[in-house]
Every structure is written in C-alpha cells, then in structure tokens.
Structure 1
Amino acid sequence: MESILKLQPRLIWKNFHTLTRIPRPSGKEGKVKEFICSFSKGLGLETTEDRAGNLIVRKPATPGMESRKGVVLQAHLDMVPQKNSGNTHDFGLDPIETIVDGEWVRADGTTLGADNGIGVAAAMSVLEAEDIHHGPIEALFTVDEESGMSGASGLLPGVLLGEILLNLDSEDEGELFIGCAGAMNAVFSFPIDDETLPFGYSGFIISVSGLKGGHSGMDIHLGRGNANKVMNRLLHHAFLHHGLRLASIEGGSLRNAIPRESRARIAIERDRSEAFLRDFRAQAILIQQELMQADPDLQIDVLPGGLPETVFEEHALSRFLRAVHACPDGVMRMSGEMTGLVETSNNLAIVKSLPGTVTIECLLRSSVDSS
C-alpha cells in the first residue's frame, strides 16, 4: 500500500507523517511541543511559549520584504483521541497508523489527527521552505483546541506581531472561510435514587455501534445517527411497553464528536422477556432502516447479561428518559443569509451514569450569539 511519504506536496506529507508518530491528545501536548521547539531550533528560528502553553515561531522576512504586513499562520497541536470499540490503541503512547485508501488518507480504526495535524504540517512547511518570498511570518501553534480552546482563549493581546492571521483548521481545499460559529458546553446532572432490583428479573446488555459519528461542527448537517438518541429511543420504548429497569448507561466520549456507540445494562421481568426481545428486534430493524442511507453499518444488539444489584428508581428513570428524548440534537436552524450554512446546532455528546447521578453533556454551536 502506498505510503503517505510519496504523496504531494512531499514536504507537507513528510511533516504530517512525523506528527502521526507523536502522541498528542488534548491536554497532553508536551511531546509534540518538544518536537516543534526542536524543529524550529534546527531552522534557527525564534520560538517562545506563552502562559497558556501556546508556541509562537517567528521567521524573518525575505530580504527586501521587511516592510510587508506580517502574516500569522495558526493551527492547533492537539487531536481528538477516538477509536473503535475493541481497538487497543493507546493515544498516550502509540503512533497513528496511516493508510492511503484511493484518494483518501485514513487511520486504522482511530481518528487520523489531520484535524489539525495537516494545518500544523502546512505551517511547518512554510517555516522550512527556502523558495517562498515573504514578509515577516509567525506560526502560532495553540493547545487544547479540541477540549475547550483554552490555548486560544489564553492568548494575550500584543503577543502576536502580524497584522493578517490565517487559521489553517478547515477542510475544504481552495476555499477561504470568513467566520465560524461560537460554541458552548451545556452539562446537566440528574440525581438518581437507586433501588434494589426485585426478584424475578432477567439481565441484558444493549449496545449501539457502527455509526459513522463525525465532527459535531463539520458533519452535524449530514443526518447521521446519534448513538445516545438511538439508545434512548430503545430504552424509552421498552420502559413504556415492557417495564424496563435501567442499571447503567454510557454513550459518547467527546463533546465535539457525534457519538458512535452506547451501552446500557438493563433488567426485564422474566415473564416479559420473550415479548421484550421480539419487540426490541423489531424496533432495531426499524431504526436501521431509517438510518440506512446515512449509517448503513449501524449495529443494535441485545445480549444476556448478569443481573444488576440495583437499578434506577422508576420515577427517576422516567424523568431521565424524557429529558434525553426532549434534548435537541442536530441542526436547529440554517442561515437565512448564506445558503447551506448551519447557523445553530446541538450535539447530544455524552450520556453517562455514575452511582447516584446521571450526566448529559451537549456542545451547542451558533453563529448568532442571541440564538
């Protein structure tokens, strides 16, 4: 299979390949920062780190172009650490394995890190290029973009000298982006009273997997399934029709990723189990048919599981299921000014139970502050 080192432009792909060898999940950018500092030092370029942990690399202007406006090339060092279930990849230790698949470069069961590794690689390539005539250049490498943007938020006024900033974190070649949506986290916690599971129940494990997921900003308009919504639909139906009791649930792992998987541990009265299983399979087929175009690989499974000792109290379970059902997900409003632009959206990103509580985490985006 073709190596990415043979792709063009050769310099950018060389730098990107090097970045895939360096673990850099959000909050753990130490190794990649060391690499950037070493890379810049090797080029004889001034490199500084600000109080937020961002790196600024300055490349002097080509002789005779010192009076040109300075340009800042900005990219973020961290990446989203997501992998398929059963994948043993350790994002804190292991390199990303890349595969050239036709006209695409992808990873082997994990996120690739092209967001924003390819932007970092492009900025690196400009820094080391010797055949580009330019004014003063600064490369701004920010940290923690994927989990809170603390790097960009912590950048102080006056740190940058350039007058023009190019953000290299977009996905469409040959297009210039003139703005982006703001984002906000919304976290809801429900107190849950547990109760001992009565005698006469059977235990099951429900799993939702195989969804494409995607980025909650770039892919939210594609109509892909949300594992938390799919799971809640199954649970709510079984609660209303078969008396389902819920012991635990965990779906999604990152606020800015459309959730691909969810898992719930449940209990059903033994004499209602057969009817539950028939109905569950019918519901699963119905949902798979609905999502066939967007998510043809959706898997919905129910398997026997050990009996839990405790389950959600019934009224608390009803309140929780109705809350997830009512929570918006996907595109809320398209822009009235620009065709095809998502104005406001929400990603129901994470649903997770812990002893005595269950948490729902959403990431809201909008280009209109008041919406």
Structure 2
Amino acid sequence: MKIQLTTLAAAVTLFAAAPAMAAETVVKLGFAAPLTGPQAHYGKEMQNGVVLAVEEANAAKTMLGDKVVRFELKSEDDMADPRTGTAVAQKLVDEGINGMIGHFNSGTSIPASRVYSDAGIPQIAMATSPVYTSQGYKTTFRAMTSDTQQGSVAGKFAVDKLGAKKIAIIDDRTAYGQGLADEFGKAVKAAGGEIVKREFTNDKATDFAAILTNIKKTNPDLIYFGGADAQAGPMIKQLKQLGIQAKFMGGEMVKSPTFVSLAGDAAEGAIASLAGVPLAQMPGGNDYAARYKARFNAEVETYSPYAYDATRAMIEAMKQAGSADPSAYLPKLAAIQFAGITSRSIAYDAKGDLKSGGITLYQVKGGEWTVMETVQ
C-alpha cells in the first residue's frame, strides 16, 4: 500500500508540473561576429557578453506575459567578411530568430542590416559607422557611440591637447576604418590642423614600409590609423624602425592587449580613443568584471559590456511588450530606457543611435593601456 501511495504521489507531482514545463517557450536570439581569423578575439569577447546576459535571463526564469521563456542563442561566424555576413544573416532569419545581436564590424553590419530589416527583426550591432543607422531602417540600433562622435572627439584632442598640427591619416578601407578616419580628419581641420597625407591599406596587410616612407617625407606630428590591431601592431613597429618621430593614434580596435603584444616596445606612447567610460567608472563595471571573470576565467577587454547591455535591452523590450514577436517589441525597444552596465541610461534616438555616451582617450604606458581623459 505504501509503495502504491508513493507511486501515486509521484505521478500527481509530475502531472502538476507538466503545465509549467509545457508553458516554457523558446526564444531564439541571433549573434554574429568574426569568431575565426585575425579579428576573432573581438568577436569572442563580444559573444561572451551576450552569453552572460542570456544565461542570467534564463536563470531568472524570465516571463513574457504569463509564459516562462528560455532564450536560445544561435551564433554564427561572419569572418568579418561582408558577403559571409549577409549569408549568415539570411541563415539566422531562416532559422526563425526573434532578435539579432551583432554584427561586430560595420562592414558586415551594414549589408546584413537590410536582411534583418526586410524580415522585420530588430538588430543591435556593435557597428560604429554613421552609415549603419542612416539607412532609414526602423530595425537598426547601436551598441556603442558612432564614429561621428568618436572621430570628432579624437581629432579635436589630437590638435588641441596633443599639439599635433601636421597629421597624416591611414585607413584600412573597411567601412569602419575609412569612416572613422574620415570623421577624424574633419575634426582635425575644424580644430585648425592640417592633413598632410592620406594613405590607405587593407585589413589583411602586414607590410606598410611604402606607405610610411611616403608619410615620413611630410614630417607629420601625428599619424592616425583607422583600422584593427592586427595591422596597427606591425605598423607602429615599422614606423619606429623607419625613425619616424610622430605620435601614433587609432580608434577602439587599436585599444587592445593584442595591439600591445604585437607592437612590443614600440607600443609605448600609442594613443587610442574608445566609446564610453573606463570599466571601473561604468555604473556596474566592477560587478560585471567579477561575474565575467567567474564565468569565463578571463578579464574584460573592450566589447563584452556593450554586448551584454545590448542583449539586456532587447530582453527588456520583450518583457515590456510581453512578447518575443518582433513587431510587438520593436516599439518598446525604440523607446527603451533602463540602467545598464555601461551607462545609467540606455536609450536610443530616432535613428537608433545611443542618446548618451562619452569618449575616453587611452595611452600605452609601461606596456599597459592607461586613461588619459574622458570627454562626455
């Protein structure tokens, strides 16, 4: 009799739990970034931020309306290649994602954004090119401040604070690198500086001797590079080998441990700008860093806090709408306002750009990136 009662009780328990289990709904979030190749370290750190946000949301048993949902991350490697990025975007759409975090590069985010727009799927990308949110799509949102803001701050800083009057610019001809260099150049001219040389390379190059030799003839005070650390590291080493005395400056893709590692002693004194404030000054920076270290056994580098906040913004919009249907939560995302890790107020303007966010200038000292100044 005891055995029968125990069996009956177990059956009743399972039956009672069945509705709750059945009520759990899967919500698919897409993610894409370079996960292989020379820019993989950017993409993997960005991915970690998304993973952490998704895991925390699942652990909290997030409710959309009266249903418990489980977020499922669908990750793809776009190889930092525009054509691959577009193919990846279509694959994710075909798999039925409810929202998209990524891509990382402007060059992949911009063409992929049309795919997501056509499907009505909200996209929050790390892309900083002004073009990304200037296409008129209602589905595009940005995780970091645009190159318009960063380039203008960096250009003015170079002239006013670093005393650079004659400036040479090199870019890698990607949407990111060229766009950032263009905005930097505009700001230099507006501040009274002179662009004495404009050169370009590509995002696969490692030999910059010819470019730097041409630049050396102009005797610049500063050389600005719009591009990634994989090119910036060898570039600054060759700059030093050629005896060029100019300061070296770049954007956020230069501000990485990889740049310092590739450049070695030549990295000393290099300057880079980065959207936002330093991690320790972010509203939730220290707590985030501890949770990140516990989960991934690694230090936060640059992009993961922004990817984390982007994921939380999308999930928060779904919660406010009580639905993961893109058409239902898109208006909520456009009007979102919440306290994030990177900012006390995550909110977007009519184009999908962040309404607030400072720019911080860093310099390599003693083999480490150190804060120079934050411009709000």
- TM-score of the aligned structures, taking structure 2 as reference length: 0.27
Greater percentage in helix: 2
Larger Cα-atom Rg:
1
Greater percentage in strand: 1
